[in-house]
Amino acid sequence: MNTASSSDLKEELKTLKPAQLTELCLRLARFKKENKELLTYLLFEAHNEEGYIAGVKKEIDDLFSEINLSHLYFAKKSLRKIVRVINKYSRYSGIKQTEIELRLYFCITLKHSEIPIHRNTVISNLYNSQLKKIDTLLKTLHEDLQYDYSKVRASLN
């Protein structure tokens, strides 16, 4: 089976009735958890981005509180999981500002945690890669926002 292009899908969706669209969306939501999460974001949280960010930050805090600090191996695994969560929620939003806020929050929380960032190469690389992503995203924002976020970013060095 060949997958149709986005433009073909868009044209076909335009021809459907609202009831058929609803049925298609519900069917998509049944097949994959990510589809259901994206649909939840679009329907319930897209109109309140600050609330969405606050909810994700709370989830990040919860994940940080669950980190096993007995060995850096376990901390590394947990940090990678947190980064995957941030990537997923950033993809749902699609707003650069949201992604920067979540990545900055991760870096600030990691820096203030008990995890020795520079004792483990993998954790250090993970932290530095988040900083690089923040720097890349900062370049795409408006100058005023760049200034505000770059002050926070400067405190992470």
| 43 and 67 assigned to the same domain | no
Average pLDDT, the chain: 92
Is 42 within a domain? yes
Chain centroid offset of residue 133 CA: 12
- C-alpha span between 145 and 157 (Å, rounded): 19
Same domain, 28 and 102: no
| Residue 32 CB neighbour total at 10 angstroms | 10
Cα 120 to Cα 125: distance, rounded to the nearest angstrom: 9
* Residue 103, burial from CB neighbour count under 10 angstroms (0-12, 13-18, 19+): buried
Report pLDDT digits (tens) over 51-78.
999 999 999 999 999 999 899 999 999 9
Residue 116 forms part of a structural domain? yes
What is the sign of the dihedral through the CA atoms of 91, 97, 103 and 105? Answer: negative
Q: Is residue 92 part of a domain?
A: yes
Q: pTM surpassing 0.85?
A: yes
Give the structural domain span for 18.
Answer: 7-47
Residues 105 and 132 in one domain: yes
Which residue is it, tokens 């609202």?
A: 18
140 and 75, same domain (yes or no): yes
Question: 2-58: per-residue pLDDT in tens?
Answer: 888 889 888 888 998 999 989 988 888 888 899 899 989 988 999 999 999 999 999
